[in-house]
Amino acid sequence: MDPRQRPRLIEIIQSLRERITEARANGWLGEVGGLQVSFDAAMAKLNSLKRSPTDGRPQLVDLGMPVFTDHAPSPRQGPGGRG
C-alpha cells in the first residue's frame, strides 16, 4: 500500500469504529460482524505500513536459506553429473 494513503486509511478506521458503535447500539449483530472484519483488515494494513520503510525504498524480503539435496550435481560436475 502506498504510504501516502495512510491518512485516508486512518479516516476509514475511524469511520468503521463509529459504525461498529452504532450497529452495537441498534442491536445489528450481523452488521457488527461484517464491520469488524473490515476494521481488522484496515488495522492490519495500517500496522504493515508502520513496519515498511518510509524513504521510498522497496522493502527487503527474507527468502530464507537455500536447501541443497543429494540429488543436485556438485558445482564441479556440471549439468549432466559428469565432471
CA distance 3 to 14: 18
pTM of the model: 0.61
pLDDT band at 62 (very low <50, low <70, confident <90, very high): confident
Find the mean pLDDT for residues 16-42: 96
Based on C-alpha coordinates, what's the Rg of the chain? 24
Write the single-letter amino acid at 31: E
